[in-house]
Amino acid sequence: MRKLFLSGAAISTLILAAACNGPQAPSEQAANTDDAKHEAVMTDNILLAEWTGPYGGVPAFDKADLAALKPALEIGMAKNLEEIDAIANNPDAPTFENTIVAMERSGRDLGRVFTYWGIWSSNRSSPEFRAIQGEMAPKLSEFSSKITQNAALFARVKAVFEGEEMASLRPDQQRVVQLTYDGFARNGATLNEADKARYAAINQELAGLHTKFGNNVLADEEGYVLYLDEEQIRGLPASFVQSAAAGATSRGHEGSHAITNTRSSMSPFLTYSTERDLRQKVWETYYSRGDNADDKDNNAIIAEILKLRDERVKLLGYENYASWRLENRMAKTPARALELMEAVWPAALARVEEEVADMQAIADAEGAGITIEPWDYRFYAEKVRKSKYDLDSDEVKQYLQLDKLREAMFFVAGELFGFNFAPVPEGQVPVFHEDVKVWEVTNKANGEHIGLWYLDPFARPGKRSGAWATTYRSYENFDGKLTVLGSNNSNFIKGAPGEPVLVSWDDAQTFFHEFGHALHFFSSKVDYPTLNGGVRDYTEFQSQLLERWLSTDEVINNYLVHHETGEPIPAALVAKIKAAATFNQGFSTTEYLASALMDMRYHTSDPAGIDPDAFERENMIALKAPREIPMRHRSPHFGHIFSGEGYSAGYYGYMWADVLTADAAEAFAEAPGGFYDKDIAKKLVDNLFAVRNAVDPADAYRAFRGRDARIEALMRDRGFPVTTQDGEE
């Protein structure tokens, strides 16, 4: 179960991010009832009810009723506050057991509600849900502030943190105390009453703004679909055409082809469409999400978010928002995060110049009479790929079947982690959509039940774009073992009936990436809920590392087979894939780093009077960002940092994690057994997966590698020049 002691920042992130979730009872009555009435309401409201059924109980997704959500939240908050008050007012002297552990036990009922909330928020959103979301976000923030600003509770936490008992606790218990204390101290518990009130008010305002930002982006994604006829789909692969046709049919446009306003639809269209005017239209529509000077425009919201975040951390005495955010991350300071990004940025820009020159040469040779524009980059990059490496992405795609990739991931999980995945018979475990399938995860060696893995693979209206992993229940073992309910969610385009779903190499890597998060969940051996968390510039490492197994011989030779013939992918094609491993790194590195640098600049600058459109434009000029490549996430749809605070001033974390990833991958490459070396795999699982946040990430990595990670590994990995301390390459 998720621990519901959350800061205002964390609660707003939980509301919007997936990594966070009978008769209706009258909400006002439910929020002000006594314990007996609480129990009656909770029995009637399916969202609050204890999970029943197999595997230690599972969410009743098939019975979830949106009408029950608001009262469930209200009764859940009321019950949680009663639990907190009982802890705070305990007449006994504060101890680890009666204060910290008691807090770990609290919030179970509300935690169950948030599981359903997360599904409605990310997988099956609707105007009705968004209305509830908009109303409840400030209330949830207020609820969180009542906990973080409970003076009596903080006094007990502080007494345990500073008391003699601390020295006698196990290291993991000491870390729970430390993290709990920091959660209070970093979120206003030490402020005077007036500043506490303002801090709480800011959190409420931010919760509403984050919600509105995310919903505006989702509305722009849902509200635009480009329908094309047969003359307008030239150049597009057959598999994409079939998927687009199926998408149009499902939307009532039989005979057309639907190009949706999501990355999973935009990217392949820009890669293959020969219709340059349509490429431009699709590009402009996608990159203008949240930036159309209408009622869904997010620029004013960004300005207000930045102003409020800055005011809030100034109350705590921090120079800027980024300094507050990074204090407990691996990077520690904005300067260290910027140092990493600025070390890589020049090499990325230099590579972009080479890539654009190669593209322009092909366009000129073809007599296209154009200058490469952003909507041309993917299209001509594909031509360069074919020219330089004789590698056709669509040819590769014929060997990347979604179902086979899933089997490959199960194979890797078995070899490295000792996990077995077996399909759960349909109907045995409730799901929230017919596309969702469930597998039981067990220990291969002894058959021990570890958890359930839910997969929701396909795009649909109401589902947010992108790919993500989440838990419905995390592992814990301090009051008896709770097994894991983990989920992966993607937005692949569903194929025509009976046709396999074929994906790109990049999408296959993303599939492995998100599965890496799931393996992190299933590997947990921590006792306490708090320790299932982590710091943002570290938790992406485990998932990024798992991408490396896609290109191992064991996966390539056994799971990459042609969808029609069943023949394994030819060795010659594999050689081309590996030869092109660092191809287009200028594009991928620059579009990411542009967003990460912009995030850091937003959160280290004075927000007074900021105009996000102008700020973004001026900073891209100052960074000498190439005009041919936009930020991966332009500011008005940068949900990572503005629809919540999970990645705010922390988007750099993917690159920080990439350094760890490249360095750890070299450890496997150097091992006698390569990427399937049993000794290195055990060190990986024991030190970097199973401990979750029970160990400081820097210490955990040193335990695995015997030293800190080195940036040189990242530069080698991307094919960039590696500079020695003497400045020589």
Q: What is the rounded distance in angstroms from the CA atom of residue 48 to the CA atom of residue 483?
A: 19
Alpha-carbon distance values, 147 to 13, 60, 151, 583 (Å): 17, 29, 9, 50
φ, ψ at 72 (rounded to 5°) = -65, -40
User: Rounded to a whole number, what is the largest CA-CA distance in the chain?
Assistant: 84
3-state helix, strand, coil in the chain (%, to 5): 60, 5, 35
Structure tokens, 136: 């409840």
What pairing do the DSSP bridges indicate for beta strands 484-492 and 449-458?
Answer: parallel
Alpha-carbon distance values, 534 to 105, 354, 452 (Å): 19, 38, 22
Contacts of 138 (CB under 8 A, 6+ apart): 204, 205, 207, 208
DSSP labels, 211-247: HHHHHHHHHHHHS-EEEE-GGG-TT--HHHHHHHHHH
Angle at alpha carbon of residue 208, lines to 206 and 210, rounded to 5°: 65
Structure tokens, 510: 């993303």
DSSP labels, 463-493: SPSS-EEEEEE--B-SSS-B-EEEEEEEEEP
CB distance 601 to 638 below 8 Å: no
CB-count burial class (<10 Å; 0-12, 13-18, 19+) for 554: middle
From the list 74, 355, 514, 628, the catalytic residue is: 514
What pairing do the DSSP bridges indicate for beta strands 257-260 and 225-228?
Answer: antiparallel
Q: What is the CA radius of gyration of the chain?
A: 25
Q: Provide the CA 369 distance to its chain's centre, in angstroms.
A: 41
Contacts of 622 (CB under 8 A, 6+ apart): none
Give the helix/strand (H/E) hosting 285. Answer: helix 276-287
φ, ψ at 553 (rounded to 5°) = -60, -40
What pairing do the DSSP bridges indicate for beta strands 468-473 and 484-492?
Answer: antiparallel
Structure tokens, 380: 């001509």
> Three-class SS of residue 102?
helix
Verify whether residue 382 is a known catalytic residue.
no
Contacts of 271 (CB under 8 A, 6+ apart): 378, 379, 381, 382, 393
Q: Which residues are catalytic?
A: 514
